[in-house]
Structure 1
């Protein structure tokens, strides 16, 4: 769908969502966009970068934003194309929410009036709000990590806790990678257009860069904590496994004693003590119990029962 969202003095904003082949051709024939730029803008797997076509007067910004799903949060690229004085945003269903955010950014940046605002400043003031959503997601991931960490006091640690931590690690990898790429792209954009941008536009792109940098720092710190918690959970699981193996070893040693005693008396050796006595069976039980107690005492003194 091609939607003319905003038409002001300096530019028009076209929002393109879930582009169809017919709409693709319409962008080429009616809006005079190049096929190459459109393909870059709608590619699900396009990397974050700037792409220029000076001959066609087109500049494409591919940037990652938060992509919301029912069970998890990932990041996906969106395309922002500056062409012939207008701006085009390209999204898919998971990222279509950006249209509302760009219209009403709800942040502390001061946006100029419609008669004065440029396409670039319009996009930058909206991108600031999109980048703050990274901070919200990192904060939510930290909250989920604290819930898992609080369960460590339980004696029984489950596979679900490990899976939850792995899920958080996966989400953080997406966020870390996207933030690093966004930061590098914005730095390059500022360098490339520094001479053509006005001071307040440079200030707004700097605000976005600072927000991305702060989110990047938070993401790195959150990832370090999650990795530490995951390692700690792994160590606790290994400790429990070692304790289980130690207990089984102790049982196997202690239970070897009855086998040894019964083996001697089962060979019908003539001169074994109490072998011919009427109460011999009970004597062998007493000998077995005494030897098991001695072995258990020796193991205890050797520290085998220490967890």
Structure 2
């Protein structure tokens, strides 16, 4: 899908043409749309297609007439049926009079620009537009990471009650998300470092500070991702320890029950042997069976009390 926006009188609205001053936005473009944009702006077809390849790495390429910036942006996905985060490429191409963004899906962050939510945004201020996207992308990464940490805290809060298989898959999904995000953030940080040496982007006064802020936000997001990965490792170890403790507790209880139930088995085994009654206590008494059962039950209760006193049970 191709959309074009232009700012007139400080109001950004959608337009039909892709002339000077237009921001051209491609979301999951078809090959025909890719060819149309490439012909219209004199771009290489492979450059426009780069954002549709999930294996593309973050990079910066600039020539006299155009600047290509490829960064990774967070994307929603699933791992073993659990909600997880992945990344997809976002390609930003800056020409003499236009900004072109290409992504394999609709990136919500760009909706803020098209809907007029970004203060002072103008499609005519191309370099500032690009730097603002990169700055807000770093902040967006931090929000995604904060959401992952909140989900981890929710998992920890359920550990005192029970740990299910779904919790293990959820924790694995969070860890996988952090791996993808931290890897993409590292690539983005390297690409932003190259932008510092790009005179085309920083020719306007004040954009160097805006780009520096974008680099700082990405660096902070990268540090957050690394910290949360370490915390996730600790959470996984804690979950494993809790499961081992609960398994040991169950095995201890089963062992105690087995020991206690062995006493009636031993007593009944003695009285079930094929020997003379005169050698078996209470064998010929009228209430001998009841007395033996009560005595056996008392012994079981006594053993249970001793084991509980010793905190074995």
TM-score category of the 2 structures, normalised to the smaller one: 0.7 to 0.9
C-alpha separation in 2, matches of 1:237 and 1:222: 22
C-alpha separation in 2, matches of 1:222 and 1:240: 26
Match of 1:186 among 163, 170, 192: 192
Shift of 1:152: 4.1
Matches within 5 A, 1:275-294: 275-294=283-302
Match of 2:135 among 128, 131, 139: 128
Q: Residue 65 of structure 1 corresponds to which residue in structure 2?
A: 73
Match of 2:268 among 237, 259, 262: 262
Q: Does 1:81 align with 2:93?
A: yes
C-alpha separation in 2, matches of 1:21 and 1:152: 50
RMSD: 3.4
SS in 2 for 1:184: helix
Q: Residue 296 of structure 1 corresponds to which residue in structure 2?
A: 304
Q: Residue 18 of structure 1 corresponds to which residue in structure 2?
A: 28
C-alpha separation in 2, matches of 1:51 and 1:252: 73
Q: Residue 245 of structure 1 corresponds to which residue in structure 2?
A: 251
Shift of 1:240: 1.8
Q: Residues 185 and 103 of structure 1: is their aligned pair in 2 closer, same or farther, counting only changes over 3 Å? A: farther
C-alpha separation in 1, matches of 2:123 and 2:293: 98
Match of 1:145 among 141, 149, 152: 152
Q: Does 1:197 align with 2:202?
A: yes
Shift of 1:114: 7.2
Shift of 1:104: 4.8
C-alpha separation in 2, matches of 1:102 and 1:223: 34
Q: Does 1:171 align with 2:177?
A: yes
C-alpha separation in 2, matches of 1:196 and 1:79: 15
TM-score normalised by the chain length of structure 2: 0.78
Per-residue deviation, residues 143-178 of structure 1 (Å, max 9, x unmatched): 33334433444x444444444444433433333222
Q: Does 1:43 align with 2:49?
A: no
Gaps of 5+ in 2: 9-18
Larger RCO: 1 or 2 (CA < 8 Å, sep 6+): 2
C-alpha separation in 2, matches of 1:114 and 1:248: 72
Paired residue total: 296
Shift of 1:7: 7.8
Q: Residues 156 and 69 of structure 1: is their aligned pair in 2 closer, same or farther, counting only changes over 3 Å? A: closer
8 Å contact from structure 1 (residues 124, 208) kept in 2: yes
TM-score normalised by the chain length of structure 1: 0.79
C-alpha separation in 1, matches of 2:53 and 2:96: 22
Gaps of 5+ in 1: none
Of 72-81 and 237-246, the range deviating more from structure 2: 72-81
8 Å contact from structure 2 (residues 84, 174) kept in 1: no
